[in-house]
Amino acid sequence: MALVVNELVTNALAHGFAGQDTGKSEIIFKQENGYFTVKVLDSGQGLPEDFSLSGEASPGLKLATRIVQKLLRGTLNYHSNEWTMFEFKFPVKA
């Protein structure tokens, strides 16, 4: 889990805030109904319109996706509106 959070935070700092002097980021952990949910949000410039986890995503983000899916038996989703958010959810007993 720590590797995935590290990759998401690193990407937010490196890409989300590129060329900006200020910005905000948040990390939210929640345990509910037998699942952990982790959200990494940033107020940066957002994702490109053609962004896809299976397409041009960085090798680190592809690895994070595989860790969530294969090792944690979870899901990784994202959206980019006012804030960019990556959220992964996995069973507590993973």
* For residues 3-27, average pLDDT: 91
Q: State the average pLDDT over residues 16-41.
A: 94
The backbone region for 33, taken as left when phi is positive above 0, alpha when psi lies in -120 to 50, beta otherwise, is: left
C-alpha distances out from residue 56 to 15, 25, 59, 89, Å: 14, 23, 9, 23
pTM, to two decimals? 0.89
Give backbone dihedrals phi and psi of 52, rounded to 5 degrees, phi first: -150, 140
Helix (H) or strand (E) segment spanning residue 35: strand 35-42
The structural domains of the chain, ordered by start, are 2-91 (3.30.565.10)
Top-confidence residue, 87 or 18: 87
- What is the sign of the dihedral through the CA atoms of 11, 62, 58 and 3? positive
Confidence of residue 16 (pLDDT cuts 50, 70, 90): confident
DSSP state for residue 63 in the 8-state scheme = H
Give the pLDDT of residue 94. Answer: 60
